[in-house]
């Protein structure tokens, strides 16, 4: 019987956990709300509790556990450095040690998008790639860089922060403090904000209908639906895709990867987005043939994170 | 007696050659004009001739030869693919084989800035770096990326083309066909063009005096002198430095290197440029402490190319 590992994806709103073999076949799947208000110890207690209950249900303990977390971590020591989307920001919490003590197995932590990159590399389209870039375009924009089959972390685990490339030097302010980061132009949040603006200005009647005039309900997905009728909404999607294309082009001239995977909610817009991204890359990359780099959607979707956590648990970053 | 290698730097205007040991001590230095009008065979004949004469003078044959060339090469097969600054562009010339047959020793070819990057890595400031980026800011802007001590080439030898990052999406047209590449904004050519504009508009009286009103004589170096008196010229240098800083910031969030070396004629402007580049990086990079990345001038200067060619000859890209 092959070893069983636990993979956790700690998100701002929910925590997902799976038990799986190294080959990626999932034995059990659970999800609980994050509810981070009571602080890190409470969240970690509930994760340990969930893992223990899953182990009881399967009648088997996990050999080790991997966990992706939303922010910067010290991978070597398993300490969270800054998780901006969780209450108290988890500054310097030895989360790996706390979980390891509670569960009696080794625990490894990594940034969530870098973990998902490991998932894409091990179980997704990345299996056939040597050098690969993953960009997760959701509420924010994160990324991961794989070079010659190895995830590139840098000394602080911060390599791959592709959402914080400057795309428009005089562009809007970013949560990070810079101006004109890709994240300010093409994240789900940026896209929704533009959708809301169009709606409020009376330029998106179909979107208005879809969300019943409620700005809080505007999402990239609904904009994608509305774009069939609302030309300005389609234009907003095209603008975001152009900026994503510029970012992809910049990574291509820097690293010439063989594969770029776009994931996250915004990538679910599909062909309308991907066609435009690929066209922009073709316009911008002239030094090498853009056909040498595939630009593809994730085929793991939202499971990339937990599956990457399984790879992290089983093999670390060897 | 340690092995002796030949290192050649093939440029648009001159060809430099050295004989040196692997430790980088130079036994002999020569330079001839490139004069590429008679075509590749003529240029290669004259290189072989120069190398043979140097060998006779030293009474020793080189063990192998490395050569940096200005453009794209197929490193594995030693074939030039496209050298835009040389007559006939050297499309698909098996230069390594031609030189190897003439000289009776192994020959390796690499892009010139990637070769200089190897020089910086082996003999320059890069000796103490693990992950390093070199940006050569001259007539054009080239680059090289070293990851975990290894020069990153990509399948076509085109990784590291950092001058073709898009910095201003709606910026001026580039020689590569894209718009707003770093090269269009901050190369020596771009800087001189802006200096000429300022002079013609009467905004750079000191520069006008220095070049006696002759646009053909405007260079980044003279602009650096004029900037002490001509405020608009200083502003032009600052703008170029800001764009270089943005490009460096983008590479930092992508790879988090420990060292960025700026070389080429524009980098010789010195502190006025470097201070501004470092400030821009501090403004743009918020995800990691910019103090974790050194941004330094080359200490090999224009010898980085020939020295890198020695490393290339002796060790290849191991």
Q: Residues of chain B with pLDDT > 90: what percent?
A: 92
pLDDT by residue (tens digit) across B150-174? 999 988 888 999 999 999 999 999 9
DSSP B175: T
Residue A251 counted as domain residue: yes
Q: How far is CA A294 from the centre of its chain?
A: 19
Give tens-digit pLDDT for B238-267.
Answer: 999 999 999 999 999 999 999 999 999 999
* Cα A226 from Cα A279, distance rounded (Å): 22
> Model confidence at B194, in pLDDT bands (50, 70, 90)?
very high
pLDDT for position B85: 84
Nearest-Cα distance to chain A for B170, in Å, is: 9
Test B162 with A254 for CB contact under 8 angstroms: yes
What is the overall mean pLDDT for chain A? 95
Domain identity same for B151 and B264: yes
Residue A119 lies in a domain: no
**By CA distance, what is A180's nearest residue in B?**
B284
Residue B296's pLDDT band (cuts 50, 70, 90): very high
Mean pLDDT of B217-223: 96
Q: Does A169 touch chain B (CB under 8 A)?
A: yes
Report d(CA B100, CA B107) in Å as an integer.
6
pLDDT average, residue stretch A225-244: 97
- Say if residue A143 is in the same domain as residue A268: yes
Question: Which among A33, A5, A40 has a CA at the least distance from the CA of A19?
Answer: A5
Contact A254 B159 (CB under 8 A): yes
Query: Does the pLDDT value for residue A44 go beyond 70?
Result: yes
Average pLDDT over residues A140-158: 92
B241 contact residues in A (CB cutoff 8 A): none
CA-nearest residue to A175 within chain B is B286
Whether residue A117 lies inside any domain: the answer is no
Mean pLDDT score, A139-168? 93
Residue A160 within any structural domain of the chain: yes
Locate all alpha helices (DSSP H) within A256-298, ordered by sequence: 271-284
pLDDT (average), residues A285-300: 92
Residue B183 touches chain A, beta carbons under 8 Å: no
Q: Same structural domain for residues B205 and B267?
A: yes
Arithmetic mean of pLDDT, A244-260: 97
Half-sphere exposure (Cβ direction) of A206: Cα atoms closer than 13 Å: 13
Domain that holds residue B75: 5-118+304-315
Nearest neighbour of B155 by CB, restricted to A167, A256, A287: A256
How far does B287 lie from chain A, in Å, by closest CA? Answer: 7
- Confidence (pLDDT) at B1: 65
**Same domain? A81 vs A155:** no
> For residue A275, what pLDDT is reported?
98
In a domain, A216, yes or no: yes
- Would you say A135 and A263 are in contact if contact means Cβ atoms under 8 Å apart? yes
Chain B residue whose CA is closest to A283:
B178
B110 shares a domain with B183? no
Residue A144: both structure tokens together:
């991961």
Please report the pLDDT score of residue B295 as a whole number. Answer: 98
Question: Quick one: A133 and A173 in the same domain?
Answer: yes
Set of chain B residues whose Cβ sits within 8 Å of the Cβ of A288: 154, 156, 158, 161
Residues of A in contact with B251 (CB under 8 A): 254
B16 neighbors B305 (Cβ within 8 angstroms)? yes
**Whether B67 contacts chain A with CB within 8 A:** no
Least confident of B83-87, B179-183, B241-245: B83-87
Pick from A255, A259, A280, A294 the residue to mutate for testing the B interface (most B CBs within 10 Å).
A255
This prediction's pTM: 0.91
Tokens of B168: 């201003």
- Which of A131, A159, A258 is opposite residue B254, by nearest beta carbon? A159
Cβ neighbours of A152 in B, within 8 Å: 147, 255
C-alpha A206/C-alpha A103 separation (Å) is 51
Instruction: Give chain A's end-to-end CA distance (angstroms, integer).
Output: 24
Spatial separation of the C-alpha atoms in residues B240 and A297, rounded to whole Å:
36
Length of chain A (residues): 318
Query: What is the pLDDT averaged over residues B166-190?
Result: 95
Assess A173–B contact: CB distance below 8 Å, yes or no. no
User: Over 80: is that where the pLDDT of B221 sits?
Assistant: yes
Average of pLDDT values for B39-43? 96
B255:A162 CB<8 A: no
Tens of pLDDT, residues A109-118: 999 999 999 9
**Per the domain annotation, does A120 fall within a domain?**
no
| Residues A93 and A15 reside in one and the same domain | yes
Alpha-helical regions (H) of chain B: 40-58, 95-103, 112-123, 182-186, 188-200, 205-210, 220-226, 231-255, 271-284, 304-315
Whether residues A65 and A170 share a domain: the answer is no
Mean pLDDT of A20-31: 96
Euclidean distance between CA atoms A60 and A267, whole angstroms: 37
Q: Check pLDDT > 80 for residue A249.
A: yes
What does the pLDDT average to over B299-312? 96
Report helix, strand or coil for A86.
coil
| pLDDT at residue A244 tops 80 | yes
Q: Is the pLDDT of residue B45 over 90?
A: yes
- Of the candidates A147, A177, A243, the beta carbon closest to that of B286 is on A177
Length of chain B: 318
Residue A58 pLDDT: 96
Clarify whether residues A133 and A77 are in a common domain: no
Residues of B in contact with A161 (CB under 8 A): 253-254, 287-288
Whether the pLDDT of residue A1 is over 70: the answer is: no
Are A309 and A275 contacting, i.e. CB atoms less than 8 angstroms apart? no
CATH classification at residue A262 = 3.30.420.40
> Pairing mode, if any, of strands A132-137 and A259-263?
parallel
State the pLDDT at residue A290.
83
Q: Does B154 touch chain A (CB under 8 A)?
A: yes
A239 to chain B, any CB pair closer than 8 A? The answer is: no
Same domain, A134 and A76: no
pLDDT digits (tens, 9 = 90+) for A70-109: 998 999 999 999 998 899 999 999 999 999 999 999 999 9
- Distance separating the N- and C-terminal Cα atoms of chain B: 24
> B300 to chain A nearest CA, in Å?
23
CA B170 to chain centre: 26
Q: What is the mean pLDDT of residues B47-52?
A: 98
When scoring A250, A289, A291 by the number of chain B Cβ atoms within 10 A, the one with the most, hence best to mutate, is: A250
Same domain, A39 and A186: no
d(CA A235, CA A211): 19
Q: Do residue A246 and residue B169 have CB atoms under 8 angstroms apart?
A: yes
Asked if residue A180 belongs to a domain, the reply is: yes
Instruction: Give the total number of structural domains in chain A.
Output: 2
β B294-297/B141-147 pair status? unpaired
Same domain for B287 and B207: yes
Closest CA–CA distance from residue B152 to any residue of chain A (Å): 7
């Amino acid at each position: 019987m092959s070893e069983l590992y636990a993979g956790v994806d700690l998100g701002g709103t929910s925590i997902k956990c799976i038990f799986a073999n190294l080959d990626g076949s999932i034995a059990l799947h659970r999800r609980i709300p994050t509810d981070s208000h009571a602080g890190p110890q409470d969240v970690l207690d509930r994760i340990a509790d969930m893992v223990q209950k899953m182990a009881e249900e399967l009648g088997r303990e996990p050999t080790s556990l991997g966990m992706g977390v939303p922010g910067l971590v010290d991978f070597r020591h398993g300490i969270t450095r800054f998780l901006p989307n969780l209450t108290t920001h988890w500054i310097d919490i030895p989360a790996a040690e706390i979980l390891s003590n509670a569960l009696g197995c080794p625990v490894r932590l990594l940034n969530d998008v870098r973990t998902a990159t490991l998932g894409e590399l091990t179980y997704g389209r990345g299996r056939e790639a040597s050098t690969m870039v993953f960009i997760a375009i959701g509420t924010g924009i994160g990324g991961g860089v794989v070079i010659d089959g190895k995830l590139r972390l840098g000394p602080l685990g911060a390599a791959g922060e592709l959402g914080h490339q400057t795309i428009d030097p005089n562009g809007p302010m970013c949560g990070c403090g810079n101006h004109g980061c890709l994240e300010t132009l093409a994240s789900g949040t940026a896209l929704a904000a533009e959708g809301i603006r169009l709606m409020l200005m009376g330029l998106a009647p179909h979107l208005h209908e879809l969300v019943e005039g409620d700005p809080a309900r505007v999402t990239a997905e609904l904009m994608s639906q509305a774009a069939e009728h609302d030309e300005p909404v389609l234009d907003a999607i095209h603008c975001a895709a152009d900026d994503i294309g510029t970012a992809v082009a910049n990574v291509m001239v820097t690293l010439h990867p063989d594969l770029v995977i776009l994931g996250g909610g915004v990538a679910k817009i599909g062909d309308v987005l991907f066609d435009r991204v690929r066209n922009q890359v073709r316009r911008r990359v002239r030094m090498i043939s853009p056909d040498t780099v595939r630009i593809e959607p994730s085929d793991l979707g939202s499971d990339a994170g937990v599956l990457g956590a399984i790879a992290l648990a089983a093999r670390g970053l060897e």
